Amino acid sequence: MDYLTIALPKGKLFDKSVKVLAKVGYAADNVVEDSRKLVITNEETKVKFIIVKTMDLPTYVEYGAADIGIIGKDVLLEQRKDVYELLDMGYGKCHLMMAVPAARVLPNIMDYTHMRVATKYPNSAVEFFDKMGMQMEIVKLNGSIELAPIVGLSELIVDIVETGTTIRENNLKEVATVYPSSARLIANKVSFKLQHQRIKKLVRDLKKVLKEEAQP
């Protein structure tokens, strides 16, 4: 049997993904986020795990370095990689939103047209504003998006939030939702054909476990 290589994302989805996969028989010793080992193998079940940065994970899957992976829908929508999306895992829920300083909230969303937007998600932001018919100046940042309007780099931001605590602590107010997001199981298109039965069984087993976990 060929190995099935699974890409796991560093960050908020890591621990839950490891636990869920273990419940369906996909586990290996020392699968930890800060592992010094780049590839972790379970010879008995023929599974390999690679632990990669969140924004790199879809690339590993698209090019076949990993057969499958777990990643947020927000990253999939932003990067638009050529992969199969197999399953909404249902955890890691958050949403991409537009926020402005609380003191600068305007009556209508169209009132923000032609303003400068700071975001880690330029493709998603452009698509959202284009659909609204709003011309905006997009500034791509890699971190501390909330800082941009505070220091005058931008008038507003487009960013991912879970609870909204961080934006409230920085006196920002959400004024529009771009899209919701949650963890998704994705597959390389060639791997999906070559290991079709194994991957399909994994999807069925994951659905069962996730359904059981969702029950009160």
Would the pLDDT of 123 be above 80?
yes
Among 27-31, 45-49, 104-108, 182-186, where is mean pLDDT lowest? 27-31
In 3D, which of 83, 116, 106 has the Cα closest to residue 199? Answer: 83
Would the pLDDT of 80 be above 70?
yes
Would the pLDDT of 1 be above 70?
no
Instruction: Determine the Cα–Cα distance for residues 139 and 211; give it in Å rounded to an integer.
Output: 40
The alpha-carbon radius of gyration of the chain (Å, integer) is 19
Instruction: Determine the Cα–Cα distance for residues 122 and 117; give it in Å rounded to an integer.
Output: 9
- Entry pTM: 0.91
Q: What percentage of residues in the chain have a pLDDT greater than 90? A: 87
CA distances from 113 to 34, 105, 106, 133, 164 (A): 43, 13, 11, 9, 24
The helix, strand and coil proportions of the chain, stated in percent and rounded to the nearest 5, come to: 35, 30, 35
Would the pLDDT of 26 be above 70?
yes
Exposure class string for 167-183: b at 16+ Cβ within 10 A, else e: beebebebbeebeebbb
pLDDT at 143: 86
What's 94-181's CATH class? alpha beta
Q: In this structure, what DSSP letter does residue 107 have?
A: S
Instruction: Determine the Cα–Cα distance for residues 100 and 38; give it in Å rounded to an integer.
Output: 40
Q: Where are the domains of the chain?
A: 4-92+182-214, 94-181
For residues 192-199, give the mean pLDDT. 96
Q: Which CATH superfamily is domain 4-92+182-214 in?
A: Periplasmic binding protein-like II (3.40.190.10)
For residues 103-107, give the mean pLDDT. 95
Would the pLDDT of 164 be above 90?
no
7, 61 in Cβ contact below 8 A? yes
Q: State the average pLDDT for the chain.
A: 94
Instruction: Determine the Cα–Cα distance for residues 198 and 23; give it in Å rounded to an integer.
Output: 16
- Over residues 37-66, the pLDDT tens digits come to 888 889 999 999 999 999 999 999 999 999
In 3D, which of 46, 51, 54, 64 has the Cα closest to residue 184? Answer: 54
pLDDT at 92: 96
pLDDT at 216: 73
pLDDT at 85: 98
Domain 4-92+182-214 matches domain 94-181 at the CATH topology level:
yes
Would you state the structure tokens that stand for residue 75, as one six-digit string? Answer: 């990253």
Would the pLDDT of 135 be above 80?
yes
